Amino acid sequence: MLAVFKTNSGYHSKGICSHITVPKGSIAPLVTNSYIIYTPDKGVDYLIPRPDGSIIVGGASHRFGPFKEQWFNNTDDGNLIEAAKDYYDGYMQRTFRGWENTDAKVEQIWTGGRFSFSCLGINTESRQ
């Protein structure tokens, strides 16, 4: 399935988003709010906690921004944005206290149309 999203300028712009989980039988530290996270390297990410303790987190444009051919006017949502595909590995451990020893990992990662801080997933790649 291929969907084309257009920005106000009429061009497709895509982003990257991920689903982070902890291993079965582990309890994830409680995250009760959604966040916009400004990273030390001038990135902006968004985080949405899910009722099952898993996390949806997306953004990473500061990692892929310089590689315009990977995201600007590129409608191929079947391939991840290469420059940012590993950005969310270890994300919770390096971003939130209490997550350091959780073994949280990226369960799925995908690309899709990007509008502001939202990420609409089209195709997924499972990391199981």
pLDDT of residue 5: 40
Lowest mean pLDDT among 26-30, 51-55, 81-85, 89-93: 81-85
For the chain, what is the domain count? 1
**Which residues are within 8 A (CB) of 26 and not within 5 positions of it... i.e. 6 or more apart?**
102, 103
Query: Which one has a higher pLDDT value, 6 or 66?
Result: 66
Q: Is residue 71 part of a domain?
A: yes
Q: Is residue 9 part of a domain?
A: no
pTM: 0.75
Asked if 22 contacts 29 with a C-beta cutoff of 8 angstroms, the reply is: no
Going by pLDDT thresholds of 50, 70 and 90, the confidence category of residue 79 is confident
How are beta strands 118-119 and 123-126 bridged, if at all?
Answer: unpaired
Going by pLDDT thresholds of 50, 70 and 90, the confidence category of residue 118 is very low
Going by pLDDT thresholds of 50, 70 and 90, the confidence category of residue 60 is confident
Please report the DSSP string for 51-78 in residue order. Answer: TTS-EEEEE-HHHHTT-GGGTBT---TT
Q: For residues 14 and 92, give the distance between their C-alpha atoms in angstroms, rounded to a whole number.
A: 23
Q: Is residue 6 part of a domain?
A: no
Cβ neighbourhood burial of 7 (10 Å; 0-12, 13-18, 19+)? middle
Q: Is residue 37 part of a domain?
A: yes
pLDDT of residue 76: 73
Q: Is residue 96 part of a domain?
A: yes
Q: Is residue 55 part of a domain?
A: yes
Using CA atoms, how far residue 113 sits from 5, 27, 82, in Å, is 5, 32, 16
Q: Which domain holds residue 38?
A: 14-126
Q: Is residue 3 part of a domain?
A: no
Q: Is residue 1 part of a domain?
A: no
